[in-house]
Amino acid sequence: MSITIPPPTAKKIPKTLEKHGDKRVDDYFWLNDRQNKEVIDYLNSENQYYEEMTAHTKGLKNLLFEEMKGRIKEDDSSVPYFFNGYWYITRFETGKDYPIYARKKGSLTAKEEILFDCNEMAKGHSYFQLGGVSISPDNKYASFGVDIIGRRIYTIQVKNLQTGKLFEDKIENTTGSSTWANDNKTLFYTQQDKQTLRSDKVFKHKLGGRQEQDVLVYDEVDDTFNVSVSKEKSKKYIVISSSSTLTTEFRTLLADDPDGKFKVFQPRVRGMEYSIAHYGDSFYILTNKDDATNFKLMKTPEKATSMENWKDLIPHREDVLLEDIEIFKDYLVLGERSNGLNKIRIMPWNGKGEYYLPFDSETYTANISTNPDFDTQILRYSYQSLGTPSSVIDFNMKTKEKEIKKEQQVLGGKFDKKNYVEERVWATAEDGTKIPISMIYRKGMKKDGKNPLLLYAYGSYGATMDPYFSSTRLSLLDRGFIYAIAHIRGGEDMGRLWYENGKLLHKKNTFTDFIDCSKFVIKEKYTSAEHLYAEGGSAGGLLMGAVVNMAPELYHGVIAQVPFVDVVTTMLDDTIPLTTGEYDEWGNPNEKEYYDYMKSYSPYDNVKAQNYPNMYVSTGLHDSQVQYWEPAKWVAKLRTLKTDTNLLFLDTNMDAGHGGASGRFEALKELAKEFSFLLDLEGIEN
């Protein structure tokens, strides 16, 4: 369509930013003030521009929303899990946006007890999130956190489950999670720095007391670390975790002795990561100690936890990433990754007959699920693929029998997994590395270069983008789209080195991998530059910003969700959330080597006079992870420099944060905007 409405223009107020003798001029620095009426007016004008420019797709958006909603079982519920004498269930009711948390004592036929009805709790709030529900050992109380802004700042309260009444206790400015000691009256919780939102302190709260009376039990003074507090599955220990990108440290306290002192498990050693699990008279340690890049499993007596006492149990393997462990009374379960695929390994403690669960597909995801019960032979795990709806499976580790407890229902009567083809292909990066791509499309697809293809990736923090099923994605597949995930470096898809080779001074591998995957799907005629679309969010939005600067000609359209695009300025500002904890991921730009490298790829700093693809950029005014002004500044700068007449939209949710809208159906409306953007570019009207 031809552009007839002039886009908004943000005024320029040049601000010179200087570091290491290098001067950068930021014309839009002033947008960094959500209290400024002019800033809000600008964001609203961009929203209005988006609405006016896409008015012709309103019917398509509504159609997509109803279509996606129509595939979702509205009166749905989770598979119940058993914990401490109760079955716990999360369920939804028809027409309602939020979950209901419930439990049943002893048996699934027992009377339901509603713990929290989030639909009632959310009334009067444009955003609502419940988090960190924790039940006291005697089952009488539930602590929980509530966020009504979207900045992930929670207030913790406690509910008396016998009377239904709330205690007067209100604990502000927390992460939302809390952990009960075994006395049923002591709560440990993490508090956040009010400005940076770094979780830096662990407090002890006595039920019925005031927050100002709470006792500080741990203060993490290193601003590159975050803290959390939890309880071991064995229920014997309360554990404080301190973690940075590269280093971890734990402290333990007997849960029967809440007024005792936490003991350091093993003092932090820079570059050494470890996690702990208690069983019997020992701790099991998942760690990269001794250059175990892909991690190994070690064991130590619970009375002697420093690393000179650790002994190898599962040695390091060059070709297998050890991701996860789950401990049961009679079994040790390992979550592994080999050749980019999940494996689940069952090991009886008696040493007799270990084995792997069998999986057939080449684009599947299988993960150890919720297993709070210690004394059981049942392992619960989840399984899905790009074309197979998610299943929750109970597996008897003794008899090897499995029971599918639930397979995600896709309503509407049109979905049949036999109508789709799943494929894993390998692109070759510019340095010769083979990059896997998982994809799905309708049967009968022809490799003629005419298929629209949406290529998604993330590529940071060692986060693995496993192939997963999405009922909403069917709205693209059934209209002829190919959907693909590029498993680029910076994630951990192919092992730990995959991550190491896509961060810090190797970060550009992430971007060039994506570009090479894009070239591959074009060369193999899955699609062409006229029909290739790219999508990424948060750090994946940084990826989008980098590739449109580096290779804009490859893409017809790009979706950048809450994109982290002003890398240098943000990483130099240690007053905003995440910055200091990110130095091990991106580098510390206070050091010139990292400053120069970061500046060479930072999307905002590298916008230039050239053609850019059609772009849809979304953000949230209250985002605590990527501040709204990053995409706002980026779009403003793109508007002044781009040399094309392609679409450029900035869509700001004025009520939400990093995760977007809070209700499950409100989130579908945001997805309908993205899909309609793609379909409109393809000339697909319904």
Confidence of residue 626 (pLDDT cuts 50, 70, 90): confident
Give the C-alpha separation, 420 to 469, whole Å: 12
| pLDDT value of residue 663 | 65
**Which amino acid does the sequence have at 203?**
F
Residue type, position 395, single letter: F
pLDDT band, very low/low/confident/very high, at 73 (cuts 50, 70, 90): confident
Determine the 3-state secondary structure of 522 from DSSP: helix
Q: DSSP assignment of 474-511, as one string?
A: HHHHTTT-EEEEE--BTB-TT-HHHHHTTSGGGTHHHH
State the amino acid at position 116 in one-letter form: F
Taking the C-alpha atoms of residue 228 and residue 198, their distance in angstroms, rounded to an integer, is: 11
* Single-letter code of the amino acid located at 323: E
How far apart (Å, rounded) are the C-alpha atoms in residues 576 and 569?
11
For the stretch 210-244, pLDDT in tens is 999 999 999 999 988 999 999 999 999 999 999 99
Note the pLDDT of residue 27: 98
Q: How many whole angstroms separate alpha carbon 426 and alpha carbon 513? A: 11
CA atoms within 13 A on the CB side of 384: 19
Mind telling me the catalytic residues? 538, 623, 658
Q: What is the pLDDT of residues 346-400, one digit of tens each?
A: 999 998 999 999 887 778 999 999 898 888 999 999 999 999 999 999 999 999 9
Residue 84 confidence (pLDDT) above 80: yes
Q: Is the pLDDT assigned to residue 1 strictly greater than 50?
A: no
According to the model, what pLDDT value does residue 505 have?
Answer: 97
| Alpha carbons 189 and 178: distance in angstroms, whole number | 4
What are the tokens at 102? 């419930």
Burial-class residue 604 by CB neighbours within 10 Å (0-12, 13-18, 19+): buried
Q: Is the pLDDT of residue 283 over 70?
A: yes
Quote the percentage of the chain above a pLDDT of 70.
97
Report the distance separating Cα 331 and Cα 346, nearest Å: 7
Total Cβ atoms within 10 A of residue 428: 13
580 confidence band (pLDDT: 50, 70, 90): low
d(CA 458, CA 464): 8
Query: 627: which 2 tokens?
Result: 């501040």
Residue 160 has pLDDT above 60, yes or no: yes
Render pLDDT for 400-456 as a digit per residue (tens, 0 to 9): 999 999 999 999 989 999 999 999 999 999 999 999 999 999 999 999 999 999 999
Q: Is the pLDDT of residue 660 over 60?
A: no
Residue 373 vs residues 37, 81, 92, 328: alpha-carbon distances, Å:
53, 9, 25, 8
pLDDT tens for 303-356 read 999 999 999 999 999 999 999 999 999 999 999 999 899 999 999 999 899 999
In percent, how much of the chain has pLDDT > 90?
87
Instruction: Return the number of other C-beta atoms located less than 10 Å from residue 367's C-beta.
Output: 14
Q: What is the pLDDT of residue 2?
A: 45
CA distance 459 to 45: 33
Q: Which of 446, 454, 457 is nearest to 476 (CA)?
A: 454
Q: Is the model's pLDDT at 577 over the cut of 60?
A: no
Mean pLDDT of the chain: 94
